Structure 1
Amino acid sequence: MDAGISFWQAMTLSSILGWVLASSVFDLTRRVRALTQPWVTRRVIVDTPLILGLQWIQHRFLDDMFSVLSCIVSVPFYTGFLPLLFWSGHGKLARQMTLLMAFCDYIGNSIKDMISAPRPSCPPVRRVTATKDEKENAMEYGLPSSHALNTVCLSGYLLHYVLNHGVQNDGVAIAVGFSLVFALVMLIGIGRIYLGMHSLIDVVAGIIFGLVILFFWLTVHGYVDDFIISGQNVTSFWASLSFLLCFAYPTPEFPTPSFEYHTAFNGVAFGIVSGIQQTYFHFHHERVPHIFSQELPILIFLGRMLVGIPTILVVKFCSKAIAKWLLPVMCNTLGIPIVSSCYVPALRGSDSSKSKSHDKQMGFLQKVTSLFPQKAYDVDTGIRFLQYAGLAWSVVDLVPSLFSHLNL
């Protein structure tokens, strides 16, 4: 486990670093946006009559139905559902869907912010935002539809998992499974248009990107799982990957919440990977009891929920509090200029250059970091990352340890 970094790990990190440097030097994000944004914007305008035609049949029942469907395939729903999947004994499915969710979120939001294409104009389009999550979604760019992309990937992977771990070689079950997934994707796509959240081009792009990502994931998911379970340098590699992905993320034309969502899921992925790598053979191997079995009846599972949910919420709060104290201290020690948009009031809008010491007063680390461009970094990114990394780690490490001690 202490062997040096492997060739594929070095190639992966080098490729991402190369993209970061190339996009900075050649301004690739702006160039891609200049090529794609005008065409997508025209398509959104062309699709407006289609949206208005669909909304002509508006009804309270349709508003509620499509809003509920949007909620059950949203990021907050998966965030609440995945811990329960871990505690139910289905560890492989849970970790694969968590990593796939993080991957979908990163790719989808990166494309959104790179193209920076608008959502359908409201008015004339009627936009239905029944929840706080939907109101935040409306602040993001449009293409591709994250709901359509995530539904294709996660329902498609769930179908693949069920068919390979349950009913095999059953033509009827396969046909029913594909029909249900197809119907769900179509309903989500129509719902996003009906609710005024997306145009047709957004939904079509979400489905296409979702199919590409799903095909890629089905190709590599076995290798990813083997690496997490028994690979070398797992935690250090994933920490480096998470760090580089923050810098590889494209800068949108105007700020949106998309980067915040990526940071949170980036932290979740790191917490899951680091926790699983340490505790797989204790709590997450293939022989652990599954829910509804004799070893894990429903009452025991409910006991796990009563213990686990408050525990991860406490860990999330503590992780955030520790990160809010620790990161500013570390950055100040290293001489890294920082600001905070919401988490640390004392750093909001602060001019870090005013607090710089003269070179003769600086320590060695500060002198080293002063050689780099003195851009003020938003410390909230690191705080959010550590907060959700702590939450995810507690799901797969701390909480199962409690279950073990409590015989749950």
Structure 2
Amino acid sequence: MGLKAGGWRQLVDYLHDPYQVARFQQLCGVAAVRSSAANGDYSHGERRREEEEAATGSRARYRGDASPARSQDPGCGKHLGKNGIAAPSRHCGGDAVANASRARDTAKKPRRRNSLNDEAETQFLVRNRLLYYLFSLGTELGNELFYITFFPFWLWNIDPYVGRRLIVIWVWVMYLGQCTKDIIRWPRPASPPVVKVELFYDSEYGMPSTHAMSGTAIPFSLFFLTFGRWEYPYAFGLLLASSWCILVCLSRLYMGMHSILDVIAGVLYSILILVIFHPALDLIDNFNLTYKYAPLFIISLHLGMGLFSFTLDTWSTSRGDTAEILGTGAGIACASHVNHMFGILPDPPLDALPFSPPAITFNLITRAFLRFAVGVVVLLLTRAVLKAGSIPLACKIFRIPCTDIRQARKRMEVELPYRYITYGMVGFVALFLVPSLFNYLNLS
């Protein structure tokens, strides 16, 4: 028996409620710190009262209630919080509890400043540093630093065939996710009650979570593309993909960047895209490799997709990220075509399947590390040179003042060309120039 319309509405409201995110953060040991506390300009009594409230596990500030009523307990000056948990008052060992609380809790600022206004003034308490670092790792699995290291490493050291197809899926998943965000325009969870552990993407809309989309698409695409091509246990691959996905999804709740509904929608949306595009990967990859005019079509398609999607009335990180993704995808696809023409990184014959993972030796690790180190240096230099040249050039062409580079980069006439050209060349260099350099250095 299905839910009625009212039941569905209640379920959606429940999953989109920021208080659910705040409760998850509290469960994981994240607590807000008052702005005065962050500046250290409140009295010792106020500090101790705040620590006592944290000790009782009170959720009053997340529900918007008044301070919980306390009834005195005759035992050694203890009082009972609203939830019935006894907490020492300032008359009975309060200083010892406060000192222990300070030693246990770690005050931190958001991991990144807000990309729109540089806001990073708020602080929060981390009571479980293991979860903080674990979920920080999870959220990095959907950021640029991960993409610019993971994809090249896979292309240079593991399997270019799988890497090309993985990037096709990644481009479509991220592009559709970013466009959907800008169409639906649902805000991110409100703060308060949510604690903003990360602020950089706060200028974007929240529905669906593109971190959850990439955190679903990348590991499960890798699983589907490699199982049967490489020899490894099915259960191991499925467990690894599932763990990767769950870690990324939970990290977005921990960071206060998405509601539960945003994350669930991102996972389901990504699965839908995988179902549609996975059967077409062979056709797309063969077209990129063999069709005579593939580079012209690839560049035109990605440019058209970008111009169609950038209709926001205000600036956000969404526009630049989408341009980076489209540029990277176009560069990789064009490099695949050129590699096929010149016989660089040829695909192994199908009769060699399935591949057995090589024995881990010192020589193997050393060569993989050298390839990665040399390649990343080349990519970073490429990005730096093109970024430094394309921004002033775009400003000059479109007659935009370039005295404040940060503000000039937010203009669409500057941001789109510089990001598309820069990351298009980064993608092309990663799959064509760097492997050619490896051949020259005898690192293939």
Output the TM-score relative to the length of structure 1. Answer: 0.72
Answer whether contact 1:263 1:385 (CA < 8 A) is retained.
yes
Larger radius of gyration: 2
Per the alignment, residue 224 of structure 1 pairs with 284
Per the alignment, residue 318 of structure 1 pairs with 385
SS in 1 for 2:195: coil
Q: Does 1:112 align with 2:181?
A: yes
Per the alignment, residue 401 of structure 1 pairs with 436
The 3 A distance-change label for structure 1 pair 341 and 221 is farther
Match of 2:370 among 300, 303, 321: 303
d(CA) in 1 for partners of 2:229 and 2:255? 36
d(CA) in 2 for partners of 1:50 and 1:96? 37
How far off is 1:243 after superposition? Answer: 1.7
SS in 2 for 1:278: helix
Answer whether contact 1:114 1:251 (CA < 8 A) is retained.
no
How far off is 1:46 after superposition? Answer: 5.2
Match of 1:72 among 137, 141, 155: 141
Query: CA-to-partner distance for each residue in 1:235-260, whole Å, 9 max, x for gaps?
Result: 10011112211221052354211110
d(CA) in 1 for partners of 2:244 and 2:287? 32
Answer whether contact 1:112 1:144 (CA < 8 A) is retained.
yes
- The residue type paired with residue 318 of structure 1 is V
d(CA) in 1 for partners of 2:409 and 2:255? 36
5+ residue gaps, structure 2: 1-8, 30-127, 350-354
How far off is 1:263 after superposition? Answer: 0.6
Match of 1:149 among 201, 207, 213: 213
Match of 1:283 among 344, 368, 373: 344
- The residue type paired with residue 229 of structure 1 is L
How far off is 1:344 after superposition? Answer: 5.6
Per the alignment, residue 31 of structure 1 pairs with none
Per the alignment, residue 258 of structure 1 pairs with 318
How far off is 1:233 after superposition? Answer: 0.9
- The residue type paired with residue 136 of structure 2 is S
- The residue type paired with residue 174 of structure 1 is Y
SS in 2 for 1:166: coil
Per the alignment, residue 35 of structure 1 pairs with none
Per the alignment, residue 150 of structure 2 pairs with 81
Per the alignment, residue 62 of structure 1 pairs with 131
How far off is 1:311 after superposition? Answer: 1.6
The 3 A distance-change label for structure 1 pair 253 and 347 is closer
The 3 A distance-change label for structure 1 pair 297 and 186 is closer
- The residue type paired with residue 402 of structure 1 is L
How far off is 1:150 after superposition? Answer: 0.7
Match of 1:380 among 402, 415, 436: 415
The 3 A distance-change label for structure 1 pair 399 and 45 is closer
Runs of 4+ in 1 over 6 A off after TM superposition: 288-291, 340-343, 345-349
Match of 1:197 among 246, 257, 273: 257
The 3 A distance-change label for structure 1 pair 104 and 339 is farther
Larger mean Cα displacement after TM superposition, 62-71 or 173-182: 173-182
Per the alignment, residue 207 of structure 1 pairs with 267
Structure having the larger proportion of residues in helix: 1
Per the alignment, residue 166 of structure 1 pairs with 230
The 3 A distance-change label for structure 1 pair 346 and 186 is closer
SS in 1 for 2:343: helix
Answer whether contact 1:109 1:258 (CA < 8 A) is retained.
yes
Per the alignment, residue 139 of structure 1 pairs with 203
SS in 1 for 2:247: helix
How far off is 1:261 after superposition? Answer: 0.4
d(CA) in 2 for partners of 1:255 and 1:209? 25
Per the alignment, residue 47 of structure 2 pairs with none
The 3 A distance-change label for structure 1 pair 51 and 314 is closer
The 3 A distance-change label for structure 1 pair 345 and 80 is closer
d(CA) in 1 for partners of 2:409 and 2:384? 21
d(CA) in 1 for partners of 2:24 and 2:403? 39
d(CA) in 2 for partners of 1:209 and 1:219? 17
Query: CA-to-partner distance for each residue in 1:283-331, whole Å, 9 max, x for gaps?
Result: 221239999579x8332222222322222222222223443455456x4
5+ residue gaps, structure 1: 1-38, 130-134, 332-336, 350-375
- The residue type paired with residue 100 of structure 1 is I
SS in 2 for 1:224: helix
Per the alignment, residue 359 of structure 1 pairs with none
Alpha-carbon RMSD across the aligned residues, in angstroms, is 3.1
Match of 2:162 among 93, 108, 113: 93
SS in 1 for 2:370: helix
Larger mean Cα displacement after TM superposition, 240-249 or 337-346: 337-346
d(CA) in 2 for partners of 1:291 and 1:299? 17
Larger mean Cα displacement after TM superposition, 186-195 or 221-230: 186-195
Per the alignment, residue 392 of structure 1 pairs with 427
Match of 1:236 among 278, 296, 299: 296
Indicate the percent of aligned positions where both proteins have the same amino acid: 24
SS in 1 for 2:20: helix
How far off is 1:87 after superposition? Answer: 1.2
Query: CA-to-partner distance for each residue in 1:63-95, whole Å, 9 max, x for gaps?
Result: 222222111343421221111111115111111
Larger mean Cα displacement after TM superposition, 217-226 or 188-197: 188-197
How far off is 1:177 after superposition? Answer: 2.9
